Structure 1
């Protein structure tokens, strides 16, 4: 029998801990496939963040380093500068990257650090129980915004791609989604492009991936995909925001 679908070599053969319907697993696979396609597994170093993806070091079959909450870009910077021939990426959620880790992310981009960030945006804090995140939408209810996020009280959601695209050090910034086969295929191309940007030494690269959180959104997996399309995509439009 011809095998038409198999596990990427850069992915470990272990059971994931993510909730049913969570799209972290899809994103993990896309990262691993990009590493396989570029034949860089032996020189890739991943930096695990704190959040739902805290155990990502179990899922990627490459060298991995755990970082403190929000500090993954700083750790990645150190690894890349000590080992410039390695391909270094971070895997971070919106709470880790856009809240406690904002400074590390912005200044790594401003310096043009030759690292790649995979930024998973599900508009809520996942691991800690569903609190409001920097990317939570106006009107969206969470454990800490039970009446919906208010621009007056909590400010506006942060658009990471739009912000980083204004910095001179960024070489590639794009936003993708994993809600459909078409968008999953586009997401893989973007992740591969981000790694290629690093391989070519062009500068900082980031791919934002719109993702679902059925558990904390209080929706079924199918309803979550619909909610992402109807609510997140209009505010966080897909596309390439900068390509050097």
Structure 2
């Protein structure tokens, strides 16, 4: 009998997803599920998904899941973690959710050092609701609500969430990764695993920002969307670690 070398993680349900072709949510779901499996916490892990493209995440993760109102996942996760302090608790949020209506929740969860992990998917646009400009949309980026491109003088400068949260003492670990190629997927998984482990060690708030594509709302093919992300998003949102426990201790 041939040895099995690859398969679906136990923490993912064996069903098709609703995500558009070329969307990176499926990849990110898998990485999170693999980490949950490898840490042996499937029976205790609790996820929170709010409004956005990942609103149906409870259909895909084979763990306990909660649904939060738009932007409120960090607040819900805070309550869950305080009731179940030994459970690995994570939020799974998009940029329209986390950086706009949920900005206060994520900032104060990080400031308080809540022992939760946030998986922050940044595709620089509102995906589920039709492609409107998000707080992370780039200057000049064309969206449904910025048909002539985002203008800094009226819409402001795109928010670099990882850099912002890294200034808060309660944040223990902040890293930005991407899933545009296999090498970066491996690095993204390592970052997610590190974030979960630090949460379980009681270090404080941890977040992994994952740069992602939105081919449908960007109006590009899946391949061209990856190229656009590499050429436009990655220079403005550089990959790397922005906060570590060593810095917290200083």
TM-score bucket of the superposed structures, by smaller chain:
over 0.9
Matches within 5 A, 1:47-66: 47-66=48-67
Paired with 1:52 and 1:114, the residues of 2 have a C-alpha distance of: 25
Runs of 4+ in 1 over 4 A off after TM superposition: none
Paired with 1:40 and 1:60, the residues of 2 have a C-alpha distance of: 13
Paired with 2:195 and 2:13, the residues of 1 have a C-alpha distance of: 22
Cα-to-partner distance string for 1:168-196 (whole Å, 9 max, x where unaligned): 00000000000000000000000000001
Paired with 1:143 and 1:2, the residues of 2 have a C-alpha distance of: 49
Paired with 1:14 and 1:89, the residues of 2 have a C-alpha distance of: 22
Structure 2, unaligned runs of 5 or more: 246-250
Shift of 1:3: 1.4
Paired with 1:219 and 1:15, the residues of 2 have a C-alpha distance of: 23
Shift of 1:213: 0.2
Shift of 1:4: 1.3
Matches within 5 A, 1:1-244: 1-244=2-245
Paired with 2:201 and 2:13, the residues of 1 have a C-alpha distance of: 27
SS at 2:43 equivalent:
helix
**RMSD (Å), alpha carbons:** 0.5
**Structure 1 length as normaliser, TM-score?**
0.99
Structure 1, unaligned runs of 5 or more: none
Paired with 1:193 and 1:139, the residues of 2 have a C-alpha distance of: 35
Paired with 2:88 and 2:193, the residues of 1 have a C-alpha distance of: 12
